[in-house]
Structure 1
Amino acid sequence: MTNLNLGFGHELVVDNFAGGGGASEGIEQALGRPVDLAINHDAAAIATHTANHPGTEHAVADVWDVNPDEATNGQPVGLAWFSPDCRHHSKAKGGRPVSKSVRGLAWVSARWAALVKPRVIKLENVEEFLDWGPLVKNAKGQLVPDPARKGQTFRGFVRALKRHGYAVDWRILRACDYGTPTIRKRLFLIARRDGLPITWPKPTHGDPKSPAVQRGTLQAYRTAAECIDWSLPCPSIFGRKRELVENTMKRIAKGVMRYVIDSESPFIAPPGGR
């Protein structure tokens, strides 16, 4: 990769696996300034990121093709963020074969640790990332996780960061506990080498029925409904050319029962968003 000639006089902030810019948006809101460099192999994703973050330098490249020394032009890196592909770790993939190369994308953060030593490294992934381990072939000759060596590679990954001088900690968090309407769990790993403590945010939101919310100590969970502009037209999921799979239909039915039929306060979105 050629030198990007970043002209900043401060510690750089780098978003690897940048995608359309979700992580960069959060970082920008937290720091009050744009991310300096965003990297992604997908040109469409980087085009979206560029539209959302015009003040960021962009690189359409495989993360392994980026030389951290050249990309940063010798400037210190304050934060390197990594959100590697989670699909081949996630339980949503079931028992299907997985890719060793995709599962190993997180190792690129160790490369940055070795070459440019960011002051802070943060990595986000699904909670099953903790089970990252070697693969074995199943009866069909396909690669699947070895249940007997679950978590072995993850522990080696943590040791690699520690060898480069990092203190490492991780937590499984839910965004709904911090004001974002999603209950999905995500693993967040923080590694820092500046001697400062690794701290974690305290929840700001909780179940509306919980004592903490009733006392006013926490705010009630936000709902997706309050974040949606119901006036915008949207096609029905039932009008698809390809029929929804059985499990999806079951989830829809469960949701209708829980939030409409059996609910004391049924949620119904009227036509036209009125």
Structure 2
Amino acid sequence: MSTLQEIIVDNFAGGGGASTGIEIAVGRSVDIAINHDPAAIAMHRANHPETEHYCENVWEVDPRKAAAGRPVGLAWFSPDCKHFSKAKGGKPVNKNIRGLAWVAIRWAATVKPRVIILENVEEFKTWGPVIDGQPDPNQKGRTFNSFVNALERQGYKVDWKELRACDYGAPTIRKRFFLIARRDSRPITWPKPTHGDPNSEEVKSKRLKPWRTAGEIIDWSAPCPSIFDRQKPLAENTMRRIARGIQKFIIDNPDPYIVPGGLGFLAKHYGGNYTGAGSSLDDPLHTVTMTDHNALVTAFLAQYYTETAPHETRGQTMDTPIMTIPTANRYALVTSHLLKMKGQEYGASLDKPLHTVTAGGNNFGEVRAFLMKYYGNEENGQRLNEPLHTVTTKDRFGLVTVHGVDYQIVDIGMRMLEPRELFAAQGFPSNYIIDVDADGKRYSKSAQVARCGNAVPPPFAQALVNANLPELCVGSGRRLAIERYRQAEGQLQFSI
């Protein structure tokens, strides 16, 4: 039977991450999408209107009725991963949710998809019995092995592997477990990485492209308000995260990330609006141009997670792929605004007492004191109502050396990443609809982020389908297959 008649089914379709990657590969929407969440199906419908949607529990959908006699070329499964993930910690697990993957066996036994692909967290391999709400440590992997055996009894060859999204063009390091099962006697093929570590020989020799980075997905035109101008001060833990991040990723970093266009595009930050003219603390700086190099903007990402160590820094630089994106927004962009030092006279000479530190004024003295001695942390700081400790020429906070040129920090900005940026980090196309569903209902930002965190990065699905179902994919091979089918059957009209 021709593969041109085969259908594609996306179980646990969510907002459409896997469906999007599959569509990019094959050049058309998936035929069937199944998910129990009306909001997820509504987002899927907005982006995949040609798909037949089932807003039902996966166990309530009869594979035979859904397929309606059509052969299934690919059945994709992304069962709920929360009750496998180590991120769940010691909370009780639900064995019914952990058992959702068994629905793949139902499809295998009834409509026999030619290829099955299952996606989950890496801990899926440890799937085993649950005792008193917790996985039995003595039976790790027992249920997983039974699952694999059940597929093999249905005539499938099975293999599995962990892949990272950054290796296939998504600017996130998200790692996921994939299981592939196929019953058409063809080999299981794992896609070769297209991207790699910029320092690797594969990238240096241009055999691979460099990983895409967090800096690529940031909208640098969006305002990043000063942390000192807020009507409601930031929480103390947030300020500590910023201070540690500034120290680690900006001050102590021999090559801090410079915002694209940052040379001369901002010297000081006023109420969230960037200005082209810089400022010392009291007098206007002359106009800053792209060749003047008086101002720089550096940046890093801060992560909002519970910190287990008193001086732990959760964050990352902008020149690496973004960490795994969860269902709540945990990422904040922090910008550090720098002015080139001229005679070390911005705010106060380094051999004089620090200027008066005010409670609300946005001045250099406050920024510098904030960086040096944060909130009475006596281990590596001082209280703000005391004279500034001795500042040496080599060991001073607030000084950033970029390519041999000294800059002084004059302001710090922070904002949470926008949902559109997070979707871009997952590898979604820029035109993917995330803020309104098919019925015109608008999503809150939190709902958008939740949908993003649950999504399969589309580059995963695209790479796996390209590798294992090339006969279904767009390109010359697919065109040739279509022509052959037309010549043999003389009836099916298929447009590309």
Q: For the superposition of Structure 1 and Structure 2, which TM-score range results when normalised by the shorter chain? A: 0.7 to 0.9
User: Residues of 1 paired with 2:226 and 2:41: CA distance?
Assistant: 29
Deviates more, 1:226-235 or 1:19-28: 226-235
Map of 1:218-229 to 2, 5 A cutoff?
218-229=208-219
Amino acid at match of 2:138: A
Partner SS state of residue 91, structure 2: coil
Q: Does 1:264 align with 2:254?
A: yes
For 2:37, the equivalent position in structure 1 comes to 42
Secondary structure, in 3 states, of the residue corresponding to 2:105? helix
Per the TM alignment, residue 261 of structure 1 is displaced from its structure 2 partner at its CA by 3.2
Deviation (angstroms), 1:217: 1.8
* Superposed displacement of residue 77, structure 1: 0.3
Unaligned runs of 5+ residues in structure 1 are: 1-8, 138-142
Partner of 1:230: 220
Cα pair distance change 1:163/1:228, threshold 3 Å: same
Match of 1:54 among 27, 49, 52: 49
- Give me the whole-angstrom Cα distance separating, in 1, the residues matched to 2:225 and 2:32: 36
CA distance in 2, matches of 1:42, 1:209: 43
- Structure 2 counterpart of 1:146, one-letter code: D
Q: Distance in 2 between matches of 1:73 and 1:235?
A: 56
Distance 1:215 1:249, change over 3 A: farther
Contact 2:225–2:273 at 8 Å: present in 1 too? no
Q: Which residue of 1 aligns with 2:198?
A: 208
The question of 1:70 aligning with 2:65 is answered yes
Which amino acid counterpart does residue 108 of structure 2 have in structure 1? A
2-structure distance, mates of 1:146, 1:210: 41
1:258 is displaced (CA, Å) by: 4.8
Structure number with higher helix proportion: 1
Query: 5 Å matches for 1:41-190?
Result: 41-137=36-132, 143-190=133-180
Q: 1:244 to 1:221 in 2, by over 3 A?
A: farther
Matched, 1:22 2:12: no
Maintained 8 Å contact 1:21/1:49: yes
Amino acid at match of 1:77: V
Q: Indicate conservation of the 8 Å contact 1:13/1:36, yes or no.
A: yes
Q: How far apart, CA to CA, are the structure 2 residues paired with 1:201 and 1:256?
A: 39
What SS does the aligned partner of 1:114 have?
Answer: helix
Higher RCO (C-alpha under 8 Å, 6+ residues apart): 2
**TM-score, structure 2 as length reference:** 0.48
Identity of aligned residues (%): 65
Structure 1 runs of 4+ aligned residues shifted over 2 Å read 227-237, 243-246, 248-265, 267-274
In structure 2, give the amino acid aligned to 1:216: K
Amino acid across the alignment from 1:200: W
Partner of 1:10: 5
Instruction: Give the TM-score normalised by the residue count of structure 1.
Output: 0.85
* CA spacing shift, 1:221–1:70, aligned 2, 3 Å: same
CA contact (8 A) 1:230 1:272 kept: no
Alignment length (residue pairs): 258
- State the superposition RMSD in angstroms: 2.8
Aligned residue for 1:260, secondary structure, equals helix
Larger radius of gyration: 2
CA distance in 1, matches of 2:89, 2:181: 30
